Amino acid sequence: MSLLSFEIDPNKVLGVTADASLEQIRDAYRQKAKKYHPDAGGEDWAFRILSQAYELLCSARVVRAAHFEAPRPSAARAAPKAPRREPSAETVHAGLHDKHVDPSHLVAVEHLCVRYLWDQASYLWLGQGVPEERRFLSCSLNLSWPDALRPDRDDPIPDHAAILEILAEIFDALIISTRVVNSRSSIEDERFSGWLSYAGFDGSSKALQILHDSLRSRGLGLRQWSRDLFIPRAWQFDRKEA
């Protein structure tokens, strides 16, 4: 499988504005996917670029939302919703949380995976040596510090500059030591944010463990949750819309 090693402008790929809502991003992705999905005669590489743009914009939108609200509970625990024509396109569940670490030293990390949505019959043989590219389009780790949900978020952090430097070092080390497909990071308004993309779940999970160990060795901790975005494995295409 080819790895993407060049920069893409996700807004241009999907044809949405920088302030597009998550719903607008999904609608744009679904419309273009009908044209570029391999089942519709599209090229695999083009569909993967489209999916990576979708992943990146969804990640950025979720990170922005995390500044104002906690991660939503999983679909299994959420209140019942009205019947839908399609299966749920997203699930969220809690992950690692170093509760013994000072909240000001916790790094918020979302483990985001874009998965294919399988029917029940197909799912039964997924564990029998099926390649990752048949199950995942991409996975990413989305880092943010300080954690927007810490209870003392209005209090100053004495070692703020030192922590930013540590996070930059750890992030750069992950790029070198793990099989990153693409990455971005920035320090703005005394906040660190980073995005590391991987070809599949195994790579992103190993990177998450390395990240956790690295943070703990430097006196920091992790508050992590996982988000799965599902797309149909086999699309029902309307040629008139494509």
pLDDT of residue 53: 80
For the stretch 17-66, pLDDT in tens is 888 877 788 788 878 877 877 667 777 667 777 777 887 777 666 555 44
Percent of the chain topping pLDDT 90? 31
For the stretch 113-127, pLDDT in tens is 877 765 544 444 444
- Mean of all residue pLDDT scores within the chain: 76
Lowest mean pLDDT among 70-79, 92-101, 227-236: 70-79
SS3 of 142-187: the string is EEEECCCCCCCCCCCCCCHHHHHHHHHHHHHHHHHHCCCCEEEEEE
Percent of the chain topping pLDDT 70? 68
Answer yes or no: is pLDDT of 87 > 60. no
Q: For the beta carbon of residue 49, count every other beta carbon within 10 angstroms.
A: 17
pLDDT of residue 38: 66
Domain boundaries, the chain: 10-75+87-123+132-232
pLDDT of residue 84: 42
Confidence bin at 208 (pLDDT 50/70/90): very high
